[in-house]
């Protein structure tokens, strides 16, 4: 009986939290960001303020999920991660809330967003006002990433390009390796584990696990060396570094199982 009641509560709380997320996005877009633009001059200052607003909003959202006991969060390296400046932050992507958690930890974070999310009625206003980068145009993407990193922002990218398919190994796209090599910036790698798996690519939000999930986030060390050789075509170097990053994350995931 207790397990059934606990499951029903978590299902109800999940529905409440996702409703809160959508409504919160609309409130920020319709009321908060317009007021900020009236009070703050300069596009960059407006973006910085909008990102801080998103940061604190997501902190509240994560705290609400923890309080309602939907998910238990173990963010053991959050203090160190919050202090990063001008870093390319690479993470695996097992669940829907990975970027929400990262943005709730890192106050000065930028991120690459799928183009179709710019048409999502609940979050497109948040994305546009915060100035997050669209992946629609590969050439413009690289320039925008380089500029963001030069401005001292931390840039969050999921090398897989989409959420991990449960039961399958990671498969990295070349975008993250391309940005890393061409921008030549420090890299911070983050390992995310969600047990039991939930909010995956194969599941809807209401398909919750039979028991409370645990979301663990931690920094990893000994990131593959980043270097560029003038004698080797950049396209080949990107492929090689992509494979190195993929192999590195696979090893880290196996060692933390």
- Look at residue 228 in the predicted model and tell me its pLDDT: 79
| Packed helices 138-150 and 175-183: angle between N→C axes, nearest 10 degrees | 50
Smallest CA-to-CA distance from 109 within 164, 50, 45 is with: 50
Task: Report which DSSP code applies to 225.
Answer: P
pLDDT tens for residues 157-194?
A: 999 999 998 888 899 999 999 999 999 999 999 999 99
Smallest CA-to-CA distance from 75 within 59, 55, 90 is with: 59
- Look at residue 222 in the predicted model and tell me its pLDDT: 87
Q: CA 237 from chain center: how many Å? A: 25
pTM for the model stands at 0.95
Confidence class for position 138, pLDDT limits 50, 70, 90: confident
Least confident of 25-34, 109-118, 204-213, 225-234: 225-234
pLDDT tens for residues 104-136?
A: 999 999 999 999 999 999 999 999 999 999 999
Confidence class for position 16, pLDDT limits 50, 70, 90: very high
- Look at residue 105 in the predicted model and tell me its pLDDT: 97
Task: Give every CB contact of residue 224 below 8 A, 6+ residues apart in sequence.
Answer: 241, 244, 245, 248
The CA-CA-CA angle for residues 246, 90, 157, to 5°, reads 110
């Amino acid at each position: 009986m207790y397990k059934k009641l606990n499951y029903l509560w978590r299902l109800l709380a999940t529905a409440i939290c996702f409703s809160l997320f959508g409504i919160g996005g609309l409130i920020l877009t319709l009321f908060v960001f317009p007021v900020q633009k009236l009070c703050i001059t300069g596009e960059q200052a407006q973006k910085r303020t909008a990102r801080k607003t998103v940061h604190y909003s997501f902190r509240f959202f994560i705290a609400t999920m923890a309080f309602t006991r939907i998910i238990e969060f173990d963010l053991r390296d959050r203090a160190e991660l919050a202090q990063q400046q001008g870093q390319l932050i690479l993470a695996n992507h097992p669940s829907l809330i990975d970027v929400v958690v990262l943005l709730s930890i890192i106050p000065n974070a930028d991120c690459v967003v799928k183009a179709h999310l710019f048409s999502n009625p609940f979050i497109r206003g948040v994305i546009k006002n915060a100035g997050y980068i669209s992946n629609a145009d590969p050439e413009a993407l690289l320039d925008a990433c380089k500029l963001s990193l030069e401005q001292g922002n931390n840039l969050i990218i999921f090398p897989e390009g989409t959420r991990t398919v449960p039961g399958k190994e990671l498969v990295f796209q070349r975008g993250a390796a391309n940005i890393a090599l061409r921008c030549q910036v420090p890299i911070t790698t983050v390992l995310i584990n969600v047990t039991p798996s939930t909010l995956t690519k194969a599941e809807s939000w209401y398909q919750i696990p039979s028991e409370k999930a645990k979301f663990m986030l931690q920094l990893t060390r000994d990131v593959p060396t980043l270097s560029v050789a003038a004698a080797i075509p950049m396209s080949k170097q990107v492929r090689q570094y992509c494979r190195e990053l993929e192999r590195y994350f696979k090893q880290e995931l196996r060692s933390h199982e």
